[in-house]
Chains A and B, each alone.
Chain A
Amino acid sequence: MNSDRRYPDAVSGPFETPPLEFADREDRSIEITPYDGSEDEFDALVEMYTAFDPSDRAQGIPPGKEARVRSWLEGILADDCLNVIAWDGRTAAGHSTLVPDGDDDFELAIFVLQAYQQAGIGTHLIESLLGYGDEHGITKVWLTVERWNHPAVSLYEKVGFETTGAESFELEMAIRIAAETSDRDSD
């Protein structure tokens, strides 16, 4: 996307880091861990996304069919991406991902399965992903969100995202999670 994206000057965080465990508002014990690269976890995410309510899709993702879900997941679960998963036992209840955009910045997305929404899982999921990102040297993260998706916009604002572009159908929001460091590998 555009490399001249605007970011807040203020650094947000520090955020909690995975792994972590908490009781959600329904008193379910939820564990958040980084994606371990295994086929089991991949398949658990496929199961989560094929069960996803189509009305909760945003801007075309998650895709609707299992084959498309698989190829989309292959892209965002690649080695250069960062992923955390919220588990209720062996069920993937939520997933959040950071995907490099080729400009040193990362695009974020978060999905929580319908039965697990409004239980506080999204907040832990996004915060632990940002903490995990910070641990991996990521400084700038952005996302787009449909402007009518108020629950998502409030979640993003709560953790420190600011609206940086509002002239399109979607809002663009960005967050700075670490100061730029001069000794970082440049390319």
Chain B
Amino acid sequence: MKVLLGFGGSQASVDALERTVDRAVAAGDELTVALAETEGATHDELAEQVEKTVAEADLSVELREIAGEPASELVAMAESEEFDELVLGGNTTSPMGKITINSTAEFVLLNSHVTVTLVR
């Protein structure tokens, strides 16, 4: 399966990366990670973060940089390049423990024609 993961460097996206890498190794998925500078980290820093996680797992991953509106760029990339699944770590938890879905995840869920997995 061709899997595209959106990665911005937040803890949620790190968790999503770890889960997706584990799954890709187990299932033989082809994983592409789209790096988006949404949390203040640069593309280079994000790439380094991803490579570190992936190195431990022995999986080759394609890295892509996205600019502009990350949510719409992700959806466009997933559709035009015929990915089977789009993965996001798209939620945060409030002090109360309520799950809130960030705007990137919300846009992707509502607009993607590719199956979306939101990692919690």
- Check if A59 sits within 8 Å of B103, measured CB to CB: no
B96 at the interface (CB under 8 A from A): yes
Least Cβ distance of A5 to chain B in Å?
A: 12
B72 at the interface (CB under 8 A from A): no
**In chain B between 74 and 120, which residues have their CB closer than 8 angstroms to a CB of chain A?**
93-101, 103, 106
Least Cβ distance of B119 to chain A in Å?
A: 14
A97 at the interface (CB under 8 A from B): yes
- Check if B95 sits within 8 Å of A59, measured CB to CB: no
Dominant secondary structure of chain B at its interface with chain A: mixed
- Check if B96 sits within 8 Å of A170, measured CB to CB: no
- Check if B100 sits within 8 Å of A75, measured CB to CB: no
Least Cβ distance of A111 to chain B in Å?
A: 11
A40 at the interface (CB under 8 A from B): no
CA distance A14 to B114 in the complex (A): 51
Least Cβ distance of A32 to chain B in Å?
A: 20
Q: Which residue of B lies closest to A167 (CB)?
A: B103
- Check if B95 sits within 8 Å of A60, measured CB to CB: no
Given contacts A168-B101, A169-B101, contact A107 B94 (CB under 8 A): yes
B residues touching A (Cβ–Cβ < 8 Å)?
93-101, 103, 106
CA distance A75 to B95 in the complex (A): 9
- Check if B98 sits within 8 Å of A144, measured CB to CB: yes
- Check if A99 sits within 8 Å of B99, measured CB to CB: no
- Check if B106 sits within 8 Å of A102, measured CB to CB: no
In the assembled complex, which residues on chain B have CB atoms less than 8 Å from the CB atom of A101? 94-95
A58 at the interface (CB under 8 A from B): yes
> What would be 28 A-B contacts, judged by CB atoms less than 8 Å apart?
A1-B94, A1-B95, A59-B98, A59-B100, A60-B93, A60-B98, A61-B96, A61-B97, A61-B98, A75-B97, A76-B97, A97-B96, A99-B95, A99-B96, A100-B95, A107-B94, A107-B98, A144-B94, A144-B98, A144-B100, A167-B103, A168-B100, A168-B103, A168-B106, A169-B100, A169-B101, A169-B106, A170-B100
